Structure 1
Amino acid sequence: MGWFSFIILGLIAGAIAKLILPGKQGGGWIATLILGLIGALIGGWLAGLIFNIGYDDFWSIQSWLIAIIGAIIVLLIWGFITRSRSRRS
């Protein structure tokens, strides 16, 4: 998969992850899309490291699941970070 298609996959995965997660996450849509891109990158890295799988093709269900799960994980971590900051203030 090329870089451009990977970027599109990550951005869409971030939007899907925001729709899946309940409640309000810190940051707007642009932050969520960027976090989705980071999540797709981390998800692909972890999937390759742990399960020895990776991104096959843009239309592969495996690629989409890896990207969405990675985006959900990054959004959850971001939510915990922003939530703890707002409680301290």
Structure 2
Amino acid sequence: MTIASILGAIVIGAVVGALGRLLLPGRQAIGWILTVVVGIVAALIGTAIAQVLGVTTTPGIDWIELVMQVALAVVGVALVAGLRRSRV
């Protein structure tokens, strides 16, 4: 992995995590670092699922893959926020 690909994963994870958090109603008691981590994981899993389902890579933005990633980020942020709330 190069520095550019690591930075790209962090940026994409931040965007996907932020979108997932914005789409989730209510207030989530998690920080921005945890949001980025959830976004990175959601982006990686969403990409893997899209490849398994045969979503072809198109020039520009892959909208189906992005929707999968954001949906997984919503679920991930909800799970993390719920786990953190139950521990407190």
**What TM-score results when the alignment is normalised by the length of structure 2?**
0.71
Correspondence for 1:67 among 69, 73, 79 = 69
CA deviation after TM superposition for structure 1 residue 27, in Å: 1.5
For the 8 Å contact 1:16–1:68, the answer to whether it is kept is yes
Alpha-carbon distance in 1 for matches of 2:68, 2:33: 21
Q: Secondary structure at the match of 1:24?
A: coil
Q: Runs of 5+ in structure 1 lacking a partner?
A: none
For the 8 Å contact 1:39–1:67, the answer to whether it is kept is yes
Q: Runs of 5+ in structure 2 lacking a partner?
A: none
Q: Which moved more, 1:76-85 or 1:52-61?
A: 52-61
Q: Pick closer, same or farther for the CA change 1:76–1:48 going to 2, 3 Å.
A: farther
For the 8 Å contact 2:21–2:35, the answer to whether it is kept is yes
Aligned residues: 84
Q: Which moved more, 1:11-20 or 1:32-41?
A: 32-41
